Amino acid sequence: MEPIAKVIALKTELDNLRPLNKEQEAIIMQKFRLDWNYNSNNLEGNSLTYGETKALLLHGITAQGKPLKDHFEITGHDEAIKWVEDLVKGDHPLSENFIRELHTLLLKSPYEVKAVTPDGQPTTRRIAVGQYKTAPNHVRTKTGEIFRFATPEETPAKMHDLIEWYRHKSEEPAVNPVLLAAEFHYRFIRIHPFDDGNGRTARILMNFILMKFNYPPVIIKTEDKDNYFFALQQADAGTIEPFINYIATNLVRSLEIMIAGAKGESIEEPDDIDKEIALLEQRLKTNGKKLEIARTKEVLLELFDDSITRLWNKFLQACGKFDRFYLKSTPFLSVNGLEEERFPPNEVITGATRILIDGSIHGLVANYSYEKFNSENFTPFDYSSQIRIELDLSKGYTVSVPNGKSFNKLYTDQLSDSEIDELIKIISRDHKDYIEQRMMENIDGDAQ
C-alpha cells in the first residue's frame, strides 16, 4: 500500500520536528478545525459556505438567509471537535458512552425530519440524540435496491462488539493506526447506530483514533465526496483496501500541512485565498449598509449568471412536475415583457438571452404556460406559473411571484438558495391548490 508507506515516512519526519511551539500548533489546528467543520458538514448537505462557516466560528456572524439548523450543525460539530481535542491529550478510552456523548454534542437536541413509511407514505420522524436508533435506517441505492444497516435490535450488541474489536486491535504491539482508524470508520458506518449524524460521528471517531497516535486529523473534502463514497461502496462489496488507501492519501495531505507549519512555512492550500475572499464578503455583509450599485451591463450579467440562472433552472424543474396533467406546456423567459423577445429553455441555458442583457433592460419574466388540463372528467382549463424580476434603475432588483411574495435586493446581493427555494415552493403550491380547487368545483357541479 504505497499511500500508507508515505504516511509512515511523513510521520517520522513530523516526529523529528516535534515538539512544535504552542503558537505554531494553534495556527495549524485552527486551520484543520475550520476545514474539518466546513467539509464534514457540507458533505451531509449543510448549506453554509466556507466563508460563512469561518465567519460564524471565529466572529459569531450568522449567514443571512441560511437555515438556523445549519448554523447549529456547525457550532455543535465545532464543540464536538474541541471536546475530542481535549480528551486526546489525556488517556480517555474509546467507549460506547464516549460515542453517545459525542453524538449529543454534535446534534445538540432532538428534532423532526421528513421520512417515508415502509409503504411509501410521507411522514415525520423524531431524531433522538445520544441514543441508538429505534427504527431502521436502511437506504435505497441508485439502482433501487435497499442497502441494509444493522437493525435497531442488533445495534447494541454490534456496538459492543465494535468497541471490543477496537480495544483488542489498539493494544496490539504492531498496531498500524491508519489501518485501525480507517477500518473503525467503515465498521461504524456499516452499523449506522444513530438515527442521524452517523457520517459526521464516524469521521470524528476516526480522527480521534489518529490523534491518539499523534497523527493530524484527516479532512475529507466536500469536492471529493464522490471518491469518498465510491471507496465506501467498494468496502461494502467486500474490498476494503481502496477505502484504507483513500484515507491514507488524505492523511498524507494533512501530514504535509503539519510539517510545513512546523517548519514555519505557509500552510495555505491553493483554494485558501478563495475561502478568504468569501469570508471577506460575508463580513462586509454585516458591516453596515452597502453602497448602491447602478444598473450596468456588467452588474446585470453577473446577476443573470448567478441568481437568475439558478432561479430559472429550479423553476423549470419544479414546473415540469405538472407537465403530465396537461396536453401541452411551454416554458420561456421573456425580456422586458416583449412578445418577440421570448426565449425557450435551451436558448436561456446556452446564453442566447444573455446577449440581450444591457444597461437598458428593466425586467425579466420566467413563464411556464400549460394548455388544456388532461382529464376527461374535467372541463379543460389552462394555467400559467410566473416569476418576475424587476430591475430598478439604480437601487436594486425585486423578484416576486403573483401572490405578492417578493425579495428586494441590492445589486451587490445575489439571491440565496433558501430564497429561491421559497419562491419555487410558493408557485408549486399555488398550482397544486388551483388544480384541487377546480376538482372541487367539478365535484360540486356534478352534485347539483
What pLDDT, on a 0 to 100 scale, did the predictor assign at position 255? 97
What pLDDT, on a 0 to 100 scale, did the predictor assign at position 280? 59
18-40 pLDDT, tens digit each: 999 888 899 999 999 999 999 99
Sheet arrangement for strand 383-391: 342-343, 326-335, 363-373, 383-391, 397-400, 406-409
CATH of domain 2-285: 1.10.3290.10
Task: Please give the DSSP secondary-structure letter assigned to residue 305.
Answer: I
Separation between Cα atoms, residue 117 and residue 124, nearest integer Å: 9
Q: What is the mean pLDDT of residues 383-388?
A: 94
Lowest-pLDDT range of 201-210, 268-277, 333-342:
268-277
65-78 pLDDT, tens digit each: 888 889 999 999 99
76-105 pLDDT, tens digit each: 999 999 999 999 988 899 999 999 999 999
Q: Is residue 136 predicted with pLDDT exceeding 70?
A: yes
Q: What is the mean pLDDT of residues 231-238?
A: 91
Q: Is residue 277 predicted with pLDDT exceeding 70?
A: no
Q: Mean pLDDT: which of 120-134, 164-178, 426-440 is highest?
A: 164-178
Residue 194 cell numbers, joined: 444513530
Query: Degrees (nearest 5) of the Cα angle 46, 261, 90?
Result: 75
Q: Within a 10 A sphere around the Cβ of 241, how many other Cβ atoms?
A: 12
Residue 276 cell numbers, joined: 478568504
Q: What is the mean pLDDT of residues 297-307?
A: 83
Q: Is residue 447 predicted with pLDDT exceeding 50?
A: no
Q: How do 342-343 and 146-147 pair as beta strands?
A: unpaired
Separation between Cα atoms, residue 308 and residue 304, nearest integer Å: 5
The amino acid present at 385, given as its one-letter code, is S
Run of H or E including 322: none
Domain residue spans of the chain: 2-285, 297-447
Run of H or E including 1: none
Backbone dihedral angles phi then psi of residue 282, each to the nearest 5 degrees? -65, -40
What pLDDT, on a 0 to 100 scale, did the predictor assign at position 117? 65
The amino acid present at 377, given as its one-letter code, is N
Q: Within a 10 A sphere around the Cβ of 173, how many other Cβ atoms?
A: 4
Q: Is 97 exposed, middle or buried (0-12, 13-18, 19+ CB in 10 A)?
A: exposed
The whole-model pTM stands at 0.62
Residue 124 cell numbers, joined: 415525520
Separation between Cα atoms, residue 179 and residue 1, nearest integer Å: 11
